[in-house]
Amino acid sequence: MPQPMKEPVAQKQQAKNIEGRITVRRIGGFAIIAAAVTLLSVLGVVAVYAQDKDKYSLKSPSGIAFSDFKGYEDWSVVSSARTDEVLKVIVANPAMIQAYKAGVPLNSQPFPDGAMIVKLQWKPKKSTEAQFAVDVPDVFSQAFVMEKDSKRFPKTGGWGYAVFNYEAASDKFTADPKSLSDCGNACHTAVKSKDYIFHPYQKR
Whether 4 is in a domain gets the answer yes
Q: How many CA atoms lie within 13 A of 157 on its CB side?
A: 24
CA distance linking residue 8 with residue 4, whole number of Å: 12
Give the per-residue pLDDT at 158: 98
Whether 190 is in a domain gets the answer yes
Residue 88 dihedral angles phi and psi, to the nearest 5° = -125, 135
Whether 204 is in a domain gets the answer no
Sheet strands (E) in the chain: 76-82, 87-92, 116-126, 135-148, 159-167, 172-175
Check whether residue 171 and residue 83 sit in a common domain. Answer: yes
Q: At 153, is the secondary structure helix, strand, or coil?
A: coil
Check whether residue 47 and residue 70 sit in a common domain. Answer: no
Whether 202 is in a domain gets the answer no
Whether 110 is in a domain gets the answer yes
Domain end position, chosen among 55, 77, 93: 55
Check whether residue 29 and residue 83 sit in a common domain. Answer: no
Check whether residue 72 and residue 169 sit in a common domain. Answer: yes
Whether 60 is in a domain gets the answer no
Check whether residue 73 and residue 133 sit in a common domain. Answer: yes
Kindly give the pairing relationship between strand 172-175 and strand 116-126: unpaired
Q: How many domains does the chain have?
A: 2
DSSP 160-183: EEEEEEEETTTTEEEE-TT--TTT
Check whether residue 39 and residue 93 sit in a common domain. Answer: no
We report the CATH number of the domain holding residue 158 as 3.50.70.20
Cβ atoms of 157 and 195 within 8 Å: the answer is: yes
Residue 126's DSSP bridge partners are 135
Check whether residue 87 and residue 183 sit in a common domain. Answer: yes
Whether 188 is in a domain gets the answer yes
Check whether residue 112 and residue 177 sit in a common domain. Answer: yes
Check whether residue 156 and residue 77 sit in a common domain. Answer: yes
Check whether residue 137 and residue 170 sit in a common domain. Answer: yes
Domain span at residue 119? 66-194
Give the per-residue pLDDT at 30: 53
CA distance linking residue 53 with residue 57, whole number of Å: 6
Check whether residue 105 and residue 163 sit in a common domain. Answer: yes
Close Cβ partners of 79 (under 8 Å, ≥ 6 residues apart): 90, 199, 200, 201, 202
pLDDT tens track, the chain, 204 positions? 555 555 666 666 676 666 666 665 666 555 555 544 444 444 443 334 445 779 999 999 989 999 999 999 999 999 999 999 999 999 999 999 999 999 999 999 999 999 999 999 999 999 999 999 999 999 999 999 999 999 999 999 999 999 999 999 999 999 999 877 777 899 999 999 999 999 999 999
Check whether residue 116 and residue 31 sit in a common domain. Answer: no
Minimal CA–CA distance to 156: which of 118, 201, 187, 123? 187
Whether 61 is in a domain gets the answer no
